[in-house]
Chain A
Amino acid sequence: MKNFKKKKISIRWVVALKEEAQIIIDQFRLKTFNEKTIYPIFKNEEETHWLIISGIGRSNAAASTAYLYSFSKASKHTSWINLGIAGSDKGNYGDLCLVDKISTYQEKKATYPSTMPKTTLPKMNLFTSDIPISDYSTHELIDMEGSAFFDIASKLVSKEFICLMKVISDGPQNDIKEITKSKISNLIKKNLSNIIYVISYYERLSEEESQIAEKPELFYEITSKWHFTVTQSYKLETLLRRIEVFCNKRDLEDKIKSCESSNSVINVLNSKIKKNIVNWSKF
């Protein structure tokens, strides 16, 4: 029997460097896997948060995103987060930004992540480069993974479930060569409360969407008693969803308990719908 009370929060983090990830690993109490994986993977006990350390560059970002999807059996209601540092001469050193446009040298067309959470955090265009760039004048934000992460993640889920967060780490006044491991950790740490705020939106989103997609409880009970073909299962699910708006589970159980086949269950439910007169004053 399914556990209907189980939390459906589902977050997947793709982070390039261990130094960027460590604060998140600590915050969400993520633990590494004992088994050998191609990229380092961490998850919490509830398996609601998973994190992969991709390494630097577009290829790593793409491969690790796909790998985490497969390895963690992420659903289509999973929120995908790319967190990392980025260069900029537009924002302030240490600021956390959300990305709403991504371009690269390779692709003519830009891509446009949604920035769904209500927040005052700055939003910026990201340029993903294959090599470190020291001329910051032509782009708002520069990183080395964002575009590839988004390209793969947007094949896995609808784009409202994808978020790219960047902390400004270098720019004309802050030489990229002076970035150290501890500076990176501190930059992420400084923004932890904002990161958690953004993540809380994606936690809610994944939870709510998976609840909407959840089949009615009675579906599992009925299909365990009678045999339904694939087409019948779809009909059953649809009918139950429509009926549960106005009829409680016990009444329905009473109605179908004497049914002898899946067909007769569907007929009973169909006739229940046919006779329903919606009482609009209840809604």
Chain B
Amino acid sequence: MIETIYVEEAIKNHPRTKFILEKFKKSRIISINKYGEIFNKRNQNFRIQKANPSLILANKKDSFVLSAPEGFGIGSSKNFYFSHMYNCIYDCRYCFLQGMYSSANYVIFVNFEDFDIAIKKTLEKNVNSKLTFFSGYDCDSLAFENVTGFAKHILTVFRTYPQIEIEFRTKSVQKEPFLSMKPMQNVILAYSLMPELMSKALDNKAPSISKRINVISELSARGWKIGLRFDPLIHGKNWKELYQDLLEYMYNKISLDSLHSVSFGSLRFPKRMYKDIFKLYPNEPLFSSPLSLNNKMISYDIEIEEEMTSYCKNLSLKYINENQIFKCSI
């Protein structure tokens, strides 16, 4: 239940604003000029807000499509991302969003059509490159789909460009709009996974791993391309057995023909971000892990990172090709 919705004056009559507000009939609507009046102002407490976040409906003015940082990709020569939403309905303890924003409120940009234009312009500028777009870098791509309808909207753009890939990265069990559509071979439904035992402690408010796997299985059986994202890899007691069980289960559960790619990423935080997150949650078990400063990032020691990545990669190579495996380093 969202108690308060802030709406930018300029988009109060936008059809998508009305569509979203229809879903929250009991919420209090407050008119604002710019979402920056509420979101990410100083003197806000992310953790306290997270207990009862508000929704902000806004109009995005610029920076619709951005180049993905180097090290973020699944095989294309150029990678881009866009975010129709800031913040996430889940509360995963390792998530960078909790260190990135001072506000836990959700911002939804309703001017989807401006994303369409920016994507098309990006395509025109990069006609000779293999491109991948990542939807929802600053949020979970699908967790709020039943409210925003963004995935359904943006798929109509990518349907006309079958050579361009789009990845939706999620922990949600949202099956629509995919169940009611014909599968598109340039769409990757990428699921973040970790052993259930760790997920229970870390993926607060997110669907269980078993529920995610059921959805992966269902959508892959329908012909959708699946990405498996073991990012971050979490260290702990019996980590080898836990990851072995999960990886083998996954590779046996889904049709390998539907598997687009698998990526592994170590637990990592930029130093400043780690400091902010630790301040918010100083008693979290995650921070009792053997983390230290390595190359300006707070992460496990390099030996742990390499052992975990190569262990998971070697296990995966029994089932899939090396060119399907990627490393997340951003």
> Which of A36-44, A49-57, A152-160 touches B?
A152-160
B69 within 8 A of A: no
- Knowing A279-B236, A283-B285 are in contact, say whether A160-B49 is a contact too (CB < 8 A): yes
B295 within 8 A of A: no
Beta-carbon contact of B201 and A276 below 8 Å: no
Nearest chain A CB to B234 CB, angstrom units: 8
A145 to B309, CA, bound (A): 59
Number of chain B residues close to chain A: CB under 8 A: 39
Q: Which residues of A contact B208 (CB under 8 A)?
A: none
Beta-carbon contact of A109 and B290 below 8 Å: no
Beta-carbon contact of B28 and A243 below 8 Å: no
Residue in B30, B235, B236, B282 whose beta carbon sits within 8 Å of that of A125 in the complex: B30
Beta-carbon contact of A114 and B49 below 8 Å: yes
Interface string of B220-245 (1 = CB under 8 A from A): 00000000000000111100000000
A118 to B4, CA, bound (A): 12
A86-106 with Cβ < 8 A to chain B: 100-101
| B105 closest partner in A (C-beta) | A114
Beta-carbon contact of A275 and B28 below 8 Å: no
Q: Which of B41, B48, B291 has the most CB of A within 10 A?
A: B48
B92 within 8 A of A: no
B271-294 with Cβ < 8 A to chain A: 278, 282-292
- If A155-B43, A209-B48 are given as contacts, then 15 extra A-B residue pairs at C-beta distance below 8 Å, sorted by A number, are A100-B30, A112-B30, A112-B32, A118-B52, A158-B44, A244-B283, A245-B284, A245-B288, A275-B290, A276-B290, A277-B236, A278-B235, A280-B198, A280-B200, A282-B285
B191 within 8 A of A: no
| B6 closest partner in A (C-beta) | A112
Q: Which of B49, B285, B286, B301 has the most CB of A within 10 A?
A: B285
A238 to B293, CA, bound (A): 14
Q: Which of B38, B44, B236, B292 has the most CB of A within 10 A?
A: B236
| A116 closest partner in B (C-beta) | B52
Nearest chain B CB to A271 CB, angstrom units: 10
Residue in A109, A114, A273, A281 whose beta carbon sits within 8 Å of that of B33 in the complex: A109
B197 within 8 A of A: yes
A277 to B285, CA, bound (A): 11
A245 to B281, CA, bound (A): 12
Nearest chain B CB to A14 CB, angstrom units: 18
Interface size range of chain A in the complex: 35 or more
B45 within 8 A of A: yes
B70 within 8 A of A: no
Beta-carbon contact of B198 and A205 below 8 Å: no
A243 to B278, CA, bound (A): 13
A-B contact pairs, 20 of them (CB 8 A): A101-B30, A115-B4, A116-B48, A158-B45, A158-B48, A159-B43, A241-B278, A241-B282, A241-B287, A244-B283, A273-B290, A274-B290, A276-B290, A277-B236, A277-B290, A278-B286, A278-B289, A279-B237, A280-B195, A283-B285
Interface string of A150-172 (1 = CB under 8 A from B): 00001101111000000000000
Residue in B37, B201, B278 whose beta carbon sits within 8 Å of that of A112 in the complex: B37
A53 to B282, CA, bound (A): 38
Q: Which residues of B contact A274 (CB under 8 A)?
A: 290, 292, 301
Residue in B38, B235, B278, B290 whose beta carbon sits within 8 Å of that of A238 in the complex: B278
